[in-house]
A = this chain, B = another copy of it.
């Protein structure tokens, strides 16, 4: 079995320039350290991360919501065609040993939640923060920059 680590990068299919820059750097660093990138296969943060990984020769997996493999962004090498719409979010995170969240909307929040429910570590870059009954929940591990996010993800990706 492949001993490479599988790390998901999650975030909006539309994103700010700053988020795209972060995502591209995360993808690049993941590939440089030999990890395989898992994502939802679409645009925005997903595309930027795949672009970064591809530029370093890394492997990119895109777990698509729809029925059409052509919907994958051009840097996805392995499109997985689920056809189950946003129920595929849970597959994106379960297929990874750690998750890096960059920005993101409610879809990203659902992925963060599914990961935490499954005890898969989540590293956050400028993303959601949570509190419950007015108490801060500190399950999302903050990172200051892409390299720190990747280092933390790879260290925690043990299962």
Contact = CB atoms under 8 A, between A and B. Distances in A.
A59 B60 CA distance: 13
Interface string A89-117: 11100110000000111110110111011
A55 interface: no
A67 B84 contact: no
30 contacts: A1-B74, A2-B76, A2-B79, A63-B80, A67-B94, A79-B95, A80-B80, A81-B94, A82-B95, A83-B85, A83-B86, A83-B90, A83-B91, A83-B118, A84-B85, A84-B87, A84-B90, A84-B91, A86-B90, A86-B117, A103-B133, A106-B114, A107-B117, A109-B113, A109-B130, A110-B114, A110-B117, A113-B113, A128-B131, A129-B131
Interface of A: 1-2, 6, 36, 59, 61, 63, 67, 69, 72, 74, 76-87, 89-91, 94-95, 103-107, 109-110, 112-114, 116-118, 126-134, 139
A63 B83 CA distance: 14
Contacts of A84: 83-85, 87, 90-91
